[in-house]
Structure 1
Amino acid sequence: MSLSHSSSSNHYCALLKLCCETHNFTKAKNLHSHIIKTLPYPETFLLNNLISSYAKLGSIPYASKVFDQMPHPNLYSWNTILSAYSKLGRVSEMEYLFDAMPRRDGVSWNSLISGYAGCGLIYQSVKAYNLMLKNDGSINLNRITFSTLLILASKRGCVKLGRQIHGHVVKFGFMSYVFVGSPLVDMYSKMGMISCARKVFDELPEKNVVMYNTLIMGLMRCGRVEDSKRLFFEMRERDSISWTSMITGFTQNGLDRDAIDIFREMKLENLQMDQYTFGSVLTACGGVMALQEGKQVHAYIIRTDYKDNIFVASALVEMYCKCKNIKSAEAVFKKMTCKNVVSWTAMLVGYGQNGYSEEAVKTFSDMQKYGIEPDDFTLGSVISSCANLASLEEGAQFHARALTSGLISFITVSNALVTLYGKCGSIEDSHRLFNEISFKDEVTWTALVSGYAQFGKANETIGLFESMLAHGLKPDKVTFIGVLSACSRAGLVEKGNQIFESMINEHGIVPIQDHYTCMIDLFSRAGRIEEARNFINKMPFSPDAISWATLLSSCRFYGNMDIGKWAAEFLMELDPHNTASYVLLSSVYAAKGKWEEVARLRKDMRDKGLRKEPGCSWIKYKNQVHVFSADDKSNPFSDQIYSELEKLNYKMIKEGYVPDMNSVLHDVGDSEKIKMLNHHSEKLAIAFGLLFIPPGLPIRVVKNLRVCSDCHNATKYISKITNREILVRDTARFHLFKDGTCSCGDFW
């Protein structure tokens, strides 16, 4: 390279600028080397450009070396290196340079203040600002300083600092600057002081689209939707950000339909849309399960530059999952060329929310293979999937992962773990973890309340509920479901009724279907069938299938044929393909010996092509799930299992066990009934556990139906004979069998 000395500096500066634009660090170093060789005494402004270039390319050591070797650094030199340290948050080096400066101007002070602010050091930022005003009063104040401090005050929620800076903005005549006015409006909005934000906005001499957009968004985080709409329509000129602000605001305030509608209007205006526009409208589509609109947005995205955008693709996955279209979500996810933790979490959560818990756990494993580190939301979600699977072993592994990664400190993870141990039957571990959590929110308390409720521990559940209230926390609908279900499983009718009334009158919660189902269950289980019917007749809406099935099940247990037929008719009308109505009514007739009616119901089922869901139980051993159905001989250890059952049956009878013939809904002889009872699925699973689960460890069995009375009675005897803890989780609750008793107190 041959350049004349007079023009070489300008050429080098131009080439250094090009290196920064192309992020070419190697080229910049080569140019620096050439400068040293060709210019023995480079000019100060060229060395300043070198410092600035190295700083922009992220190489502070090189920038610092050039600065240290400068024979005559000027104020710009000092400010350039100071700004570099400030932007990187290198506080100690920044402070050292600032103290060593022979002279300072507004840029110097702003670099110091910005550096502190970037690191969240509010005290140091304010101290530097006040020193600037006190020691360097002659300095021309910089609008960047004001905006920096306003943004800091906003992020930290520091009202006092915000008001102080506002006063100085007015005093020093900076209110006319949009660059300062917008952060002021934004600060007051984010602090919830929307009247102050509006006052600032109204007093601004000039308002541009940025100002309008800032206030619109501010009015939306504060829930002032109508005010936002009025302001939006007042605007003479609306840009893409204005429209996107409205879509985002509607979505944040739960007005998903309005968000979709205004997106349509924006589309008609032919305005440019960005990832935030698409992300917000897709969130709205998912919120109201608007699958068709979501597909239309997807089709539009495909025709834009955002079809491969990671943010938009993640929003598409989430939208399809919320609309229960898991196949489309998978298709979008698989096509993504680049995935981050948000993308993986969207797919994982989608699986979990749609009942694909095993796929959720597998997705987490796949994510690990790609080297993506989970955040608290990801880990919390996969733990929730383990809870749904009642997979204690895998859940415990994720607990260990939470401890080693430090994510255990996040409330989303700790809450998921409390739920996990509760759903897996380890209520003591759930309570221990609950006690270890320093900050507990409503979800934490509700998780433990629900855990105790599943065990039917009504007194403990109610005690926790009352402690939650004493701590000033507000129970939600889920909390009351847990407490009411605990009352129903313990037969506490009066207490349950009192809590139901307090939910409405004291806590202002409008009951949903689940609360009414709990109350129907409360009356029905206690044998107060007539009260259950009266309660149903007073409900503001018709019960769902679960409620009718609950009543019908109790009618079977207590032999109430009249109300049983009444409930069955409603259940058949509500859900003609639900076999529960036929099966439960059959059991009512069978208990009364009305076999002709049983046969008629079975014929009706056959004619309609309905099949009863087969009962099955499963147990996990060495990371493999073993599934059993009644009379199942498919397991490779079947001979040993059936032999073990024969031995157990002999010992149980010696202890006083008598088979419950009413649990058999077939018109066969007693010997055949006993044979059928002996080979129920949970008994096969328990026998497997006795053979292979080491002594001292509890046997954990999960069943897809309610435990029948005979199996419940038999398992009590088995726990006593074998001196083993047996935990059975059915569709309603946990049963912990130990020393011949069950945790449910024989009330389930």
Structure 2
Amino acid sequence: MSLHVSKQFSSMRLSNHYCELLKHCGDTKKVHCNIIKALRNPEIFLLNNLVNAYAKNGSIIYARRVFDQMPLRNLYSWNTLLSSYSKLGRLPEMKRVFDAMPTRDMVSWNSLISGYAGRGFLVQSVKAYDMMLYDGPFNLTRIALSTMLILASNQDNVRLGRQIHGHVVKFGFQSYVFVGSPLVDMYSKTGLIFCARRVFYEMPQKNVVMYNTLIAGLMRCGRIEDSRQLFYEMREKDSISWTAMIAGFTQNGFEIEAIDLLREMRLENLEMDQYTFGSVLTACGGVAALQEGKQVHAYIIRTDYQDNLFVGSALVDMYCKCKSIKSAESVFRKMTCKNVVSWTAMLVGYGQNGYCEEAVKIFCDMQKYGIEPDDFTLGSVISSCANLASLEEGAQFHGKALVSGLISFITVSNALVTLYGKCGSIEDSHRLFSEMIFLDEVSWTALVSGYSQFGKANETIRLFESMLAHGFKPDKVTFIGVLSACSRAGLVEKGNQIFESMIKEHRIIPIHDHYTCMIDLFSRAGRLEEARNFINKMPFSPDAIGWASLLSACRFYRNMEIGKWAAESLIKLEPQNTASYILLSSIYAAKGKWEEVSILRKGMRDKGLRKEPGCSWIKYKNQVHIFSADDRSNPFSDQIYSELEKLNYKMVQEGYVPDMNSVLHDVEDSEKIKMLNHHSEKLAIAFGLIFIPPGLPIRVVKNLRVCADCHNATKYISKITQREILVRDAARFHLFKDGTCSCGDFW
């Protein structure tokens, strides 16, 4: 657009300018008023008005063209253009206009400082601030001071904050509430809460903003009672005050107090916003308060916030944490607008509730809608693949992490280290760990747990000691991994030592999982009497896994006395748990006490209990093939059973003898052999031998522990076929190679 402006411009020319502006602005009434003013009094301030109108509407190009052709410019003209560039973040143009200004005032300096500060340019902001003071302290305003304090707060720069505080006092701004609030906020966010309180109490006048700022600051620092007292001291509280308290309670683990405070807020008839609802929904999810969460949901519907993106995502998250996955799905489907946060909330919810396949599916659906994942989303879906032991899909997400650059985020890298560890590719897990630029406690724990589950006890312990040497603090999960490794390798003394160090040196109070590891440690090593003594000294009774570990060891070592005690304790704890009946039956069967076995089975039938059927699965060409014992439902069953017959013949020639103790039925030996030959893991392995190309490992997953016979048979199969067979059962990984297993026959 060519524009010519002179001192004597026509009314029609100025009218055309405003007609052009009307194309860019929907506020017809405002433009009309400006046109009338211009036609009546065409002076310089009207051209300034035109520049300002263009700039406010975002049409900075037109504003600049008018400015460049103005015959006269005053300070207001320059400041209008400068402020426009500052607000739009167009910093190079802002600086050029500022340098070209013939004169400057406090508005000019504020625009320059705010422009740099708003974009986080600390060095340039401080330089501009110093230049302003050098030009003259009269330029200093409360706006400049508050801008610099906010910048210091966002940058966590205590030194700069203290320097600005000094200027506040020196130039007499300490009584200004507008400056006091960001000063309190700066000290709070940088952890100097005592300085924040001092500033607050020295202020002669305080408004609700200052109260809210200090309350929020006392909450990040964990001073719950101080913030509560200050809150109830307030004469006037607004919605922000209540929301700050609710959010603070939630963030500091006082979820019940947050929910109670919402009830009080409702009694005050105060308006709630998305942040109020988001905080209280987080509190409901944190303590699985489903009924309270539903009540909040009902109130959200009445206040027309159900279509709010932030609130909808919080609702999905709350229902997922309360294990009400159907309600979460319902809210998610009804959301008219979804972003990466809402998709991630549903994805994480699926993963946390055991619906890992659905988590992977919804990730793919999210991408179909053009929503790109962030590091948390990608890390979460990789974790779901890890729980599924789905190496192929996990490797695809690894590729996406590399292409997108999200591999640089520690959340994604940690998830990949866990994935490869849980899928049995411990070398890949360690390689990824070694390539990470930044490591944290989660990184070390992921690798420690991977080696532990793989049964590599010595490597696990070395890693743990290296973690300590590098100054990282182990947590409860780290110790579970190390103690499990000691248990699986029979390192009783070492495990005892680590358990004691956890309590005495690292000040970690043991939870059920740690005690279960110790019970398993004694039990697997055959030190059943020590296991019993350890249980009797525990501060609480073992959980079901602990009793089952002891009972399983009693079956292996055929200790009927302690086994009966463990079984009775397990039945009392979980009457519907079939493990106690099955394991005790195994002990009786091994001793030839078939009458007792029969009584136990009758008891199970009378109580309507059924043993969880064993099943194994293997993935081939993106399809999962599931097998149960004597299963002939697979379309390739004839080939599978034929392959097993050939293998059995070769195994017997190599010296394989079926383990009859793995059969808990009083039948003839020939029938027992037939039953053993068709266990689910053997069917899955035979399928893998037929279809998985040579040179690639055969990966099988089983929902229960591998029985002694299948474990022994798989060693023979690996030797005969010269194939690597990786079996992940309920206890650990077993890598069979050349007739041996990585577990050392200790599982």
Q: Establish whether residue 70 from structure 1 lines up as the match of residue 70 from structure 2.
A: yes
Alpha-carbon distance in 1 for matches of 2:477, 2:54 = 57
Alignment of 1:185-224 (within 5 A): 185-224=184-223
Alpha-carbon distance in 2 for matches of 1:432, 1:44 = 70
Alpha-carbon distance in 1 for matches of 2:353, 2:45 = 63
Q: What is aligned with 2:599?
A: 600
Q: What is aligned with 2:692?
A: 693
Q: Is the alpha carbon distance of 1:10 and 1:171 closer, same or farther for their aligned partners in structure 2, counting shifts above 3 Å?
A: farther
Pairwise CA distance, 1:104: 1.2
Pairwise CA distance, 1:516: 0.6
Count, aligned residues: 738
Pairwise CA distance, 1:123: 1.2
Pairwise CA distance, 1:108: 1.2
Alpha-carbon distance in 2 for matches of 1:342, 1:349 = 10
Pairwise CA distance, 1:8: 9.6
Gaps of 5+ in 1: none
Contact 2:278 2:310 in 1 (8 A): yes
Q: What is aligned with 2:716?
A: 717
Alignment of 1:316-331 (within 5 A): 316-331=315-330
Contact 2:15 2:35 in 1 (8 A): no
Q: Establish whether residue 24 from structure 1 lines up as the match of residue 26 from structure 2.
A: yes
Alpha-carbon distance in 2 for matches of 1:146, 1:9 = 43
Q: What is aligned with 1:52?
A: 52
Alignment of 1:236-635 (within 5 A): 236-635=235-634
Q: What is aligned with 2:5?
A: none
Alpha-carbon distance in 2 for matches of 1:364, 1:441 = 26
Q: Is the alpha carbon distance of 1:164 and 1:635 closer, same or farther for their aligned partners in structure 2, counting shifts above 3 Å?
A: same
Contact 2:11 2:39 in 1 (8 A): no
Pairwise CA distance, 1:6: 11
Pairwise CA distance, 1:239: 1.1
Alpha-carbon distance in 1 for matches of 2:242, 2:318 = 21
- Give the secondary-structure state (helix, strand or coil) at the position aligned to 2:617: strand
Alpha-carbon distance in 1 for matches of 2:107, 2:734 = 71
- Give the secondary-structure state (helix, strand or coil) at the position aligned to 1:633: coil
Contact 1:349 1:381 in 2 (8 A): yes
Contact 1:105 1:139 in 2 (8 A): no
Contact 1:19 1:28 in 2 (8 A): no
* CA offsets 1:229-268 (integer angstroms, 9 cap, x no match): 1111111111111111111111111011111111111111
Pairwise CA distance, 1:14: 10
* Corresponding letter in the other structure for 1:696: G
Q: What is aligned with 2:117?
A: 117
Alignment of 1:142-181 (within 5 A): 142-181=141-180
Report % sequence identity: 81
Alpha-carbon distance in 1 for matches of 2:713, 2:71 = 94
Alpha-carbon distance in 1 for matches of 2:19, 2:129 = 37
Alpha-carbon distance in 1 for matches of 2:625, 2:179 = 67
Pairwise CA distance, 1:214: 0.5
Alpha-carbon distance in 2 for matches of 1:40, 1:227 = 62
* Corresponding letter in the other structure for 2:443: T
* CA offsets 1:279-329 (integer angstroms, 9 cap, x no match): 111111111111111111111111103121111111111111111111111
- Give the secondary-structure state (helix, strand or coil) at the position aligned to 2:666: coil
TM-score (norm 2): 0.95
- Give the secondary-structure state (helix, strand or coil) at the position aligned to 1:174: coil
Runs of 4+ in 1 over 4 A off after TM superposition: 5-20, 27-32, 38-42
Alpha-carbon distance in 2 for matches of 1:255, 1:350 = 22
Pairwise CA distance, 1:87: 2.2
- Tell which deviates more after alignment, 337-346 or 617-626: 337-346
Alpha-carbon distance in 2 for matches of 1:424, 1:484 = 20
Alpha-carbon distance in 2 for matches of 1:686, 1:371 = 40
* CA offsets 1:432-458 (integer angstroms, 9 cap, x no match): 110111111111110000000000101
Alpha-carbon distance in 2 for matches of 1:443, 1:176 = 47
Q: Is the alpha carbon distance of 1:417 and 1:655 closer, same or farther for their aligned partners in structure 2, counting shifts above 3 Å?
A: same
* Corresponding letter in the other structure for 2:492: V
Contact 2:181 2:209 in 1 (8 A): yes
Alpha-carbon distance in 1 for matches of 2:361, 2:53 = 46
Q: What is aligned with 1:739?
A: 738
Alpha-carbon distance in 2 for matches of 1:372, 1:677 = 50
- Tell which deviates more after alignment, 680-689 or 402-411: 402-411
Q: What is aligned with 1:79?
A: 79
Q: Establish whether residue 679 from structure 1 lines up as the match of residue 681 from structure 2.
A: no
Alpha-carbon distance in 1 for matches of 2:278, 2:474 = 32
* CA offsets 1:448-494 (integer angstroms, 9 cap, x no match): 00000000101111111111111111111000000000000000000
* CA offsets 1:503-530 (integer angstroms, 9 cap, x no match): 1111111111111110000000000111
* Corresponding letter in the other structure for 2:130: N
- Give the secondary-structure state (helix, strand or coil) at the position aligned to 1:567: helix
Q: Is the alpha carbon distance of 1:43 and 1:651 closer, same or farther for their aligned partners in structure 2, counting shifts above 3 Å?
A: farther
Contact 1:716 1:742 in 2 (8 A): yes
Contact 2:132 2:140 in 1 (8 A): no
Pairwise CA distance, 1:65: 2.5
Q: Is the alpha carbon distance of 1:51 and 1:28 closer, same or farther for their aligned partners in structure 2, counting shifts above 3 Å?
A: farther
* Corresponding letter in the other structure for 2:242: W
Q: Is the alpha carbon distance of 1:671 and 1:29 closer, same or farther for their aligned partners in structure 2, counting shifts above 3 Å?
A: farther
* Corresponding letter in the other structure for 2:230: L
Alpha-carbon distance in 2 for matches of 1:695, 1:436 = 30
Alpha-carbon distance in 2 for matches of 1:461, 1:77 = 70
* Corresponding letter in the other structure for 2:80: T
* Corresponding letter in the other structure for 1:731: A
Q: What is aligned with 2:88?
A: 88
Pairwise CA distance, 1:60: 2.9
- Give the secondary-structure state (helix, strand or coil) at the position aligned to 2:633: coil
Pairwise CA distance, 1:30: 10
Contact 1:552 1:568 in 2 (8 A): yes
* Corresponding letter in the other structure for 1:195: F
Contact 2:356 2:387 in 1 (8 A): yes
Alpha-carbon distance in 2 for matches of 1:607, 1:35 = 92
Q: What is aligned with 2:644?
A: 645
- Give the secondary-structure state (helix, strand or coil) at the position aligned to 1:195: helix
Alpha-carbon distance in 1 for matches of 2:254, 2:43 = 62
Alpha-carbon distance in 2 for matches of 1:255, 1:9 = 66
CA RMSD of aligned residues (A): 2.4
- Give the secondary-structure state (helix, strand or coil) at the position aligned to 1:372: coil
* Corresponding letter in the other structure for 2:537: K
Pairwise CA distance, 1:101: 1.4
Q: Is the alpha carbon distance of 1:482 and 1:28 closer, same or farther for their aligned partners in structure 2, counting shifts above 3 Å?
A: farther
Q: Is the alpha carbon distance of 1:139 and 1:16 closer, same or farther for their aligned partners in structure 2, counting shifts above 3 Å?
A: farther
- Give the secondary-structure state (helix, strand or coil) at the position aligned to 2:139: coil
Alpha-carbon distance in 2 for matches of 1:593, 1:401 = 57
Q: Is the alpha carbon distance of 1:504 and 1:13 closer, same or farther for their aligned partners in structure 2, counting shifts above 3 Å?
A: farther
Pairwise CA distance, 1:31: 8.7
Pairwise CA distance, 1:91: 2.2
Pairwise CA distance, 1:142: 2.0
Q: Establish whether residue 663 from structure 1 lines up as the match of residue 665 from structure 2.
A: no
Q: Is the alpha carbon distance of 1:473 and 1:15 closer, same or farther for their aligned partners in structure 2, counting shifts above 3 Å?
A: farther
Alpha-carbon distance in 2 for matches of 1:50, 1:409 = 48
Pairwise CA distance, 1:40: 14
Pairwise CA distance, 1:720: 1.1
Contact 2:18 2:31 in 1 (8 A): no
Contact 2:658 2:676 in 1 (8 A): yes
* CA offsets 1:96-129 (integer angstroms, 9 cap, x no match): 2211111111111111111211222211111111
Contact 1:16 1:49 in 2 (8 A): no
Pairwise CA distance, 1:199: 0.6
Q: Is the alpha carbon distance of 1:311 and 1:733 closer, same or farther for their aligned partners in structure 2, counting shifts above 3 Å?
A: same
Contact 2:18 2:35 in 1 (8 A): no
* Corresponding letter in the other structure for 1:441: D
